[in-house]
Structure 1
């Protein structure tokens, strides 16, 4: 019974913490301050390993770029690109959603995965330079 209660507590605490982080991110962006969104990225470049790398998207309101940063990969994504169909279902789970983004100009397609609650913020940040307006 104790294990069951422990699992339930972890489940409810996780949802609560996620809602708090989302609210904090929205408040920071609405105030014109930079914010970080947990995210995983994969780049379609010839000769590179096709695996996701966990990191964070660094969004600065009014900036023309959004930065993905991790210990293994750093990408500067120009705002104003195109979103494409997400990857096949095998890349999704109930909490994470994927989207494909092609930055303007020549450049590789970048696959991004983030918590489903953060996906509208990610789309808004990459849609236009005045990107990080509250959703």
Structure 2
């Protein structure tokens, strides 16, 4: 019986903890405070790793950049104000993770981002820039 409970605990608590973190992140962004969102990213820049790399997006409301930080790549700044595109669906990690393609402004190279689907609206708003805050 103890083994069954031990196997079910991560399944039951993961959803609760993730919902709590999403609502906490939403509140912090609304208050203008910086947040970190778990994310995976892949870039098509020459010299970059072509596989998805796990890390976190560091979002500061009103900033001109959103920073992706990971142990493998270090910190990569993504300028806000770009456009979103449909991703390649065969590279998604799981059905809970939503993927989006982001093309930085002024013709930058496409960056593919994967986040839990509940974070996706916040990600779109953060990368759309400060002018989009009044549109939502």
- The TM-score normalised by the length of structure 2 is 0.88
Once residues 131 and 4 of structure 1 are traced to their aligned partners in structure 2, the CA distance between those partners, rounded to angstroms, is: 47
Q: Say whether residues 1:81 and 2:82 are aligned partners.
A: yes
Q: What are the within-5 Å matches in structure 2 for residues 45-56 of structure 1?
A: 45-56=45-56
Partners of 2:119 and 2:132 lie apart in 1 by: 14
Which residue number corresponds to residue 98 of structure 2?
97
| C-alpha spacing 1:48/1:31, structure 2 compared with 1 (3 Å) | closer
Matches within 5 A, 1:20-59: 20-59=20-59
Give the corresponding residue for 1:19.
Answer: 19
- Provide the C-alpha distance between the structure 2 equivalents of 1:65 and 1:82, rounded to a whole number of angstroms: 14
Structure 1 stretches lacking a partner, 5+ long: none
- Comparing 21-30 with 45-54, greater Cα deviation is found at 45-54
Q: Which has the higher contact order (CA 8 A, sep 6+)?
A: 1
Extract unaligned runs of 5+ from structure 2: none
Structure 2 counterpart SS, 1:66: strand
Match of 1:120 in 2: 121
Q: Which residue of 1 aligns with 2:112?
A: 111
2:7 maps to: 7
Q: 1:131 to 1:28 in 2, by over 3 A?
A: farther
What's the offset of the Cα at 1:128?
1.7
CA RMSD in angstroms comes to 1.8
